[in-house]
Amino acid sequence: GWFSPRTCVEWAIIGGTWLPAALWCAESFLASRRWRYAIGLSGVLAVQLLAGHFQIAWFTLLLLAVYVPARAWWIWDNGSRLSALGFRPGTDSRSPKAESRKPLSQPRRVTTVAFAAMLCGLGLAAVQLAPTFELKQRSQRATVGKEHELDFGSIPPWYWTQVFRPSHWYSPLTDREAAFRESPPLGHSRTNSAEAHLYFGLAPLLLFGVCVVGLLRELVARRSADRFVVFWLAVAIVSGLYTSGWLLPLTRHLPGFSYFQGLGRYGLLTTWAVAVLAGSVADRFLREPDVSRRLAWTLIVGSLWSLSAWYLLGDDVAHVMMTFPTFNPLSLEPMSALGAGPLMSVLQLFVLMAVVIGVSAVLWWLSERPNEIDVRVGLMGLVLLTTSVEFWTISRLVTFTQMVESPPLKSLEQSPVRQKLLEAAQTRPTLRLFAPGANLPSTLGVSSAPIYLTFGPAEYVDDSLRQQDDWMRRGGVTHLLSFEPQPLAKSMQLIWQGDDPFLNRAWGRSGQPLYLYELEQPLGRLQLHAFTGEVSDLSSWKMTAFESRANSVECSVDLTEAGVLVLTDLDYPGWSVTVDGHAAKSIRIDKLFRGVRLEPGSHRVVWSYRPRSVLLGAVISVVTLLMLAAAAYVRFWHPQRLAWLDEANERDKE
Query: How many CB atoms are located within 10 Å of the residue 254 CB?
Result: 9
- The whole-number average pLDDT for the span 303-331 is 81
Per-residue confidence band for 467, with pLDDT thresholds at 50, 70 and 90: low
Q: Out of 295-304, 320-329, 490-499, 641-650, pick the least confident.
A: 641-650
Mean per-residue pLDDT for 7-15? 73
Query: What are the tens digits of pLDDT across the range 575-590?
Result: 999 999 999 999 999 8
3-state SS assignment for residue 378: helix
33-42, 140-149, 167-176, 593-602: segment of lowest average pLDDT: 140-149
Which H or E element spans position 526?
strand 526-529
Across the strands, what pairs with 555?
546, 605
Task: Return d(Cα 160, Cα 181) in angstroms, integer.
Answer: 16
Contacts of 303 (CB under 8 A, 6+ apart): 203, 382, 383, 385, 386
CB of 259 closer than 8 Å to CB of 53: no
**Over 50: is that where the pLDDT of 81 sits?**
no
pLDDT (tens digit per residue) in 242-291: 999 999 999 988 888 888 888 999 999 999 999 999 999 998 888 877 76
- Cα gap 473→479, rounded to integer Å: 10
For residues 417-421, give the mean pLDDT.
Answer: 95
Quickly list DSSP for 103-114.
PPS-HHHHHHHH
> Is pLDDT above 90 for 484?
no
Mean per-residue pLDDT, 34-49: 93
Percent of residues, the chain, with pLDDT higher than 90: 47
What integer pLDDT is reported at residue 53 of this predicted model?
Answer: 79
Residues 559 and 601 sit within 8 Å (Cβ to Cβ): yes
Kindly state the average pLDDT of the residues 231-235: 97
Angle at 20 between CA 17 and CA 21, to 5 degrees: 80
pLDDT at 457 over 90: no
Domain extents for the chain? 408-519, 526-610
Q: pLDDT digits over 121-130, tens only?
A: 999 999 999 9
Please list, in sequence order, all residues whose beta carbon lies within 8 angstroms of the beta carbon of residue 212, skipping any fewer than 6 positions away.
229, 233, 277
Alpha-carbon gap, residue 430 to 530, rounded angstroms: 20
pTM, full prediction: 0.84
Instruction: Tell me: pLDDT of 98 over 50.
Output: no
pLDDT at 650 over 50: no
| Strand arrangement of the beta sheet that strand 526-529 belongs to | 526-529, 563-570, 593-598, 587-589
| pLDDT number for residue 370 | 54
Long-range contacts of 7-13 (CB under 8 A, 24+ apart): 7/395, 7/399, 7/401, 8/194, 8/399, 8/400, 8/401, 9/194, 11/51, 11/52, 11/53, 11/55, 11/56, 12/56
In the structure, what pLDDT confidence band is assigned to residue 80 with cuts at 50, 70 and 90? very low
Q: What is the mean pLDDT of residues 168-183?
A: 93
Which is higher by pLDDT, 378 or 18? 18
Q: Work out the pLDDT band at 199, boundaries 50, 70, 90.
A: very high
In this structure, of 96-110, 156-170, 260-274, 382-396, the range with the lowest mean pLDDT score is 96-110
Contact between 474 and 468 (Cβ < 8 Å): yes
pLDDT of residue 138: 84
Q: Which long-range contacts (CB under 8 A, 24 or more apart) does 625-629 make?
A: 625/124, 627/120, 627/123, 628/39, 628/42, 628/120, 628/124
CA 54 – CA 201 distance, rounded (Å): 27
Task: Say what the pLDDT of residue 602 is.
Answer: 96
Which has the higher per-residue pLDDT, 7 or 522?
522
Please give the CATH number for the structural domain made up of 526-610: 2.60.40
Query: What is the reported pLDDT for 468?
Result: 52
CA-nearest of 155, 298, 267 to 200 is 267
Whether the Cβ atoms of residue 226 and residue 78 lie closer than 8 Å to each other: yes
User: Any idea of the CA torsion for 25, 27, 31, 32, to the nearest 10 degrees?
Assistant: 0
DSSP helix/strand/coil, 84: coil
